[in-house]
A and B are shown apart, each in its own frame.
Chain A
Amino acid sequence: MSLDKEKIKHVAKLARISVDEAKVDSLTKDLNSIFKFIEQLNELNTDKVEPLTSILNQSLRSRKDEISDGKIREKILKNSPKKNEEFFVVPKVVE
């Protein structure tokens, strides 16, 4: 299958990345060559194969549901590009 420019713009929208119009052509070319490479997998019949969902031979551990951390609001807010005293600040979302 091949990816056209419209499809790529749609995927970019899903990924929340604005794509420079001037770069769409080269991006389309690169992605199509990558997908051509990826689609070698279609040579293989995998109808009877179970998908591998974890590489470990163990299931995820469970732990007690208790608080082990906290009172670090300052640390969490420290790297925020925009904040007031207690909150992250984003552009207005509700009129």
Chain B
Amino acid sequence: MSNITNQSLSEILESIKSKKISSLELTQAYIKNIENAKKLNAFVTTTFDQALENAKKFDNKPNNEQLLSGVPLAVKDLFCTENVKTTAGSNILNNFVPSYESSVTKNLWNNGAFLLGKLNCDEFAMGSSNETSFYGNVINPIGDHLVPGGSSGGSSSALAADLTPATIGTDTGGSIRQPASFTGTVGLKPTYGLCSRWGIVAFASSLDQAGPMTKTVNDCSIMLEAMSGFDEKDSTSINKKKESYSKNLQDNIKGLKIGIPKEYRVDNMPKEIDELWEKGKKILKDLGAQLIDISLPHTKYALPTYYIVAPAEASSNLARYDGVRYGHRSQKGKDLIEMYENTRSEGFGDEVKRRILIGTYVLSSGYYDAYYLKAQKVRQLIKKDFDDSFTKVDAILTPSTPSSAFKIGEKTNDPVSMYLNDIFTVPVNLAGLPALSLPAGLDKQGYPLGLQLIGKALDEQKILNIGYAFEKNCGYKNEIKKWWS
């Protein structure tokens, strides 16, 4: 089975169940791909020996009753993995080896999967291009000069290059959906509280959410089912019955109402994105859905709100990196305070420092009301826009990003232009809603473009179903030449 690795997760699971391939053969095939793909720089750490052991263990005593039986998975290096180095893409955690496992990865392993390696990402998930990682840029398999998106850029690159059958990322302002869109893959940001945040390196706690990145919508439903669920250890985890997203996946979307928000446009947006949106509307309409024009009037204020809320929370969360209990410690400085200052200066990269400074400033005495309180009020307005719209529609269709993958280095000198890439993904995080990015077409350069389906809180099944129907009728297929091996 030479081509097993370019198949979908569900096809691979089928092959394992029917014993067409062993878990060991599958794992060896991925290891070979990873070794041939060093140029992409998608991995920070590999755990091949451990993976091969686990594969053998599975083959000796196969349990095919699980959702992810016998499958090796690489995950974003933001999830703490027991006894496996976890860096968050940062120098400050370069030597950090957790003694515990994140709840989400534990759920994956409890469902029969095992770890293949840890994937590169923007430092502390702060970035839209994977260029802020201490471990270097990740390359998009679509082209050797292109970013894979961010912050889950190692995840999107590895998935599109067949280095893992599926993966997980985290999404604070678009970090799953934008890289999925840039690599022609499927990415879901679940409802805030659906997947546990316990054991995930924290960025902005009221926005962070883990989610699946996969080749197909069906795969996405399997992964979501495996990773989600109530967790006592996360105080914002939602306590509800577990759903069988994969079993309940169906493609009849007749009569569903799809909202089309007029505000999801930006100046100089490539014509192809409008055309793609039109194509998406037509596909859903032809499948019997009803298109309804809606307005989300505060959309343009989502990014400025985000760049107060997220850095404020980050500045608090990242206060823990002090060089005392774990992580890098500077050898310079004559007292404790200087040790802190030098540790943090040496350990954090420029983008992380910028955001800590923004956050510290907006929370500082005398500025709190003008910035942080103001942002919380606007966040309320943004949420209300969605609440109002969802009294009229079942889901909302928008483009995922205002552009296709951009060139490495193109936006690194202008932070605001980098931030603007998340303009269509950020509102969803502020409102805590689920959203699915689907590959939908190519631009004139042949780079993938995505469309986004936004759902009501906890209505993942509906957007997965719409996505499933869309996928069957869209005819998108990722044809990536393996130029790197």
Bound together, the chains give a CA A33 to CA B373 distance in angstroms of 21
Q: Which residue from B192, B305, B356 sits with its C-beta under 8 Å from A56?
A: B192
Knowing A31-B358, A40-B304, A90-B339 touch, does A52 contact B95 (C-beta < 8 A)? Answer: no
Contact A41 B378 (CB under 8 A): yes
Which are the 5 A-B pairs with shortest beta-carbon distances? A51-B376, A79-B326, A55-B432, A81-B329, A46-B377
Knowing A17-B348, A27-B354, A30-B354 touch, does A49 contact B377 (C-beta < 8 A)? Answer: yes
Confirm or deny: A67 has a beta carbon within 8 angstroms of a beta carbon on chain B: no
Contact B345 A17 (CB under 8 A): yes
Pull 26 A–B residue pairs with CB atoms less than 8 Å apart, ordered by A.
A15-B360, A16-B322, A16-B337, A18-B344, A30-B415, A33-B414, A34-B419, A40-B301, A41-B374, A44-B298, A44-B381, A49-B377, A51-B373, A51-B376, A52-B376, A52-B377, A52-B383, A60-B236, A63-B232, A72-B99, A78-B97, A78-B99, A79-B327, A90-B339, A91-B333, A93-B335
Interface of B is mostly: helix
Confirm or deny: B307 has a beta carbon within 8 angstroms of a beta carbon on chain A: yes
Nearest residue (CB) in A for B381 is: A49
Besides A16-B344, A50-B380, 7 other CB < 8 A contacts?
A: A18-B344, A34-B419, A49-B377, A55-B206, A55-B383, A56-B236, A81-B328
**How does the 8 Å CB contact mask read for A1-44 relative to B, with 1 for contact and 0 for none?**
00100001001101111111001000100110111011111101
Which residues 320-373 of B have a CB within 8 angstroms of A?
322-329, 333-342, 344-345, 348, 350, 353-354, 356-358, 360-361, 364, 371, 373
Contact A17 B324 (CB under 8 A): no
Which residue, B322, B360, B373, B381, has most C-beta atoms of chain A within 10 A?
Answer: B360
Bound together, the chains give a CA A46 to CA B375 distance in angstroms of 10
Confirm or deny: B244 has a beta carbon within 8 angstroms of a beta carbon on chain A: no
- Distance of B17 from chain A, by nearest CB (Å): 37
Bound together, the chains give a CA A86 to CA B77 distance in angstroms of 30
B236: A residues at CB distance < 8 A: 56, 60
Bound together, the chains give a CA A90 to CA B339 distance in angstroms of 9
Contact A14 B364 (CB under 8 A): yes
Q: Which residue from A8, A19, A35, A80 sits with its C-beta under 8 Å from B325?
A: A80
B298: A residues at CB distance < 8 A: 44
Contact B380 A51 (CB under 8 A): yes
Bound together, the chains give a CA A30 to CA B319 distance in angstroms of 22
Interface of A is mostly: loop
**How does the 8 Å CB contact mask read for A52-63 relative to B, with 1 for contact and 0 for none?**
111111101101
Nearest residue (CB) in B for A62 is: B235
Bound together, the chains give a CA A38 to CA B307 distance in angstroms of 7
Residue total for A at the interface (Cβ-Cβ under 8 A): 52
**How does the 8 Å CB contact mask read for B89-105 relative to A, with 1 for contact and 0 for none?**
00000011111100000
Contact B328 A53 (CB under 8 A): no
Q: Which residue from B192, B239, B338, B357 sits with its C-beta under 8 Å from A8?
A: B357
Confirm or deny: B55 has a beta carbon within 8 angstroms of a beta carbon on chain A: no
Confirm or deny: B160 has a beta carbon within 8 angstroms of a beta carbon on chain A: no
A76: B residues at CB distance < 8 A: 99, 325
Contact A56 B416 (CB under 8 A): no
Knowing A11-B360, A60-B235 touch, does A55 contact B377 (C-beta < 8 A)? Answer: no
Contact A34 B339 (CB under 8 A): no
A35: B residues at CB distance < 8 A: 358
- Distance of B192 from chain A, by nearest CB (Å): 5
B308: A residues at CB distance < 8 A: 38, 41
Contact A16 B431 (CB under 8 A): no
A42: B residues at CB distance < 8 A: 374
A11: B residues at CB distance < 8 A: 357, 360-361, 364
Nearest residue (CB) in A for B207 is: A55
Bound together, the chains give a CA A80 to CA B360 distance in angstroms of 26
Confirm or deny: B300 has a beta carbon within 8 angstroms of a beta carbon on chain A: yes
- Distance of B349 from chain A, by nearest CB (Å): 12
Knowing A37-B419, A38-B308, A90-B336 touch, does A31 contact B354 (C-beta < 8 A)? Answer: yes
Contact B335 A38 (CB under 8 A): no
Contact A52 B238 (CB under 8 A): no
- Distance of B92 from chain A, by nearest CB (Å): 11
B329: A residues at CB distance < 8 A: 81-82
Confirm or deny: B193 has a beta carbon within 8 angstroms of a beta carbon on chain A: yes
B350: A residues at CB distance < 8 A: 23
B281: A residues at CB distance < 8 A: none
- Distance of A52 from chain B, by nearest CB (Å): 4
Which residue, B96, B303, B341, has most C-beta atoms of chain A within 10 A?
Answer: B341
